[in-house]
Amino acid sequence: MPYLPMTLLKKSLFILFSVLFAMGFAQKRKKPTALLTKEDFTHPSTSVVFPMLWSGFQRESIYSYDLQDKNIAVRYGQKLDKKNKTTFTLYIHPKEAVDNQMIRDSFSSYDYIFHQISNKGMDIKPSFGSISNDSIKVNYIYSVFDRPMETLDFFKGVKYIDKSSLLSIYECGGWSFRTLMSSDHMTKDQLAELKDKIENYFGILDIASKKHLPIDKKPDIVLSSVVKRDSMMTHAVLAAAHAKIEWLGKNLEKKELLTGFNDMKIESEMYAIEKMVEFYKAHEKDWTMHDDTKKYFSEMARIVDNGRIKDHIYYKYDGIINYEGGAARKDDYIQFKIDKDISENTNEMFYKIFYRLE
């Protein structure tokens, strides 16, 4: 696609991130509104304080996306000289529902947007972390990467400059918290240290404590319309969904289930796939199947029988899964798919598990 001039780029970025950030909420503002205050700002719903000055950073703006100021974006900046500046923006908003793919979908959306507005490719590799205390645990996904960003140039008009960048997305129960930063001069290690300071000062654990997931209830399951094509597809996919719920319930701590599904562990998806294929093999003769269903399960059975479930999951989720050996094995798995006649249809998403929040 053609690259956008500076003004259009800023407008496109604003629209794209606004859609990602504020969609789906009642009582939205017609457009984001700047909150013009020169004092420390306290977020009314979580009591998080955003000071005018913090650790050498000046608060530059606060934008509100709803009438109650629950959905906000707060930007800080630190300028060393004309050419060297570090900025970070903190996004916080409530959730109406939480599903097991939410944090992955969010990371993938940012990846897509960054590539759309860049003049070259980027290597945005996910890393995984957690912070906890005695009562609660927050899991998150983050990436530190070089990102080409458009800047004005007196002679060239517009040019792209690589900046060290960091994106982090947290599972905070009924709240979403994200950090996006960039710097002309900080190293990637320094950005990671800044991330840790932000987590501590702005109270990620306190935010996550405001609204827990209702873990005394079983999560709901939503199925893709494709699943409804025949009984085998419906029952086998439900077997996978129930297996995932079972695995998460048995293998995660209660204090992390309170904040999110943490469905980045590859073992939960492996268990779900194994149970799905087991169900298919046990009930293969019970129902008449659509040709596409037969094809899908025969291919999935070949993946399972050849011990390639982990590689399949890594490929299916485009690497946004906690599997250290995935990248090194990707090319070999692609060749395996060719040799075993396995189609891209095996990458379809057929269900999500979720909680509705009051």
What is this structure's pTM? 0.89
Return the number of other C-beta atoms located less than 10 Å from residue 76's C-beta. 23
Residues 6+ apart with CB under 8 A from 267: 247, 251
Tell me what pLDDT residue 25 has. 47
SS3 letters for 144-197? EEEEEEEEEECCCEEEEEEEEEEEEEEEECCEEEEEEEEECCCCHHHHHHHHHH
Q: Which of 56, 92, 54 is nearest to 74 (CA)?
A: 92
Task: Count other Cβ atoms within 10 Å, centred on residue 28.
Answer: 15
Of 117-121, 215-219, 233-237, 266-270, the range with the lowest mean pLDDT is 117-121
Rg (CA), the chain: 22
Q: Which residues of 339-354 are buried (b: 16+ CB within 10 A; e: fewer)?
A: eeebeeebeeebbbbb
pLDDT band at 282 (very low <50, low <70, confident <90, very high): very high
Residue 341 pLDDT more than 70? Answer: yes
Q: What is the pLDDT of residues 169-188, one digit of tens each?
A: 999 999 999 999 999 999 99
Collect all residues with Cβ–Cβ distance below 8 Å to 314 and sequence separation of at least 6.
266, 321, 323, 326, 327, 329, 330, 333
Helices (H), 210-265: 231-251, 254-257
Parallel/antiparallel/unpaired status of strands 53-54 and 57-66: antiparallel
Digit-coded pLDDT (tens) for 44-59:
999 999 999 999 999 9
Give the contacts of 2 (CB within 8 A, at least 6 positions apart): none
Tokens of 331: 């090319």
The pairing of beta strand 85-94 with beta strand 175-183: antiparallel
pLDDT at residue 239 tops 70: yes
Cα 33 from Cα 291, distance rounded (Å): 53
Number of C-beta neighbours around residue 356 at 10 A:
13
pLDDT exceeds cutoff 50 at 26: no
Of 344 and 155, the one with more pLDDT: 344
Percent with pLDDT over 90 in the chain = 82
Write the DSSP symbol of residue 342: -
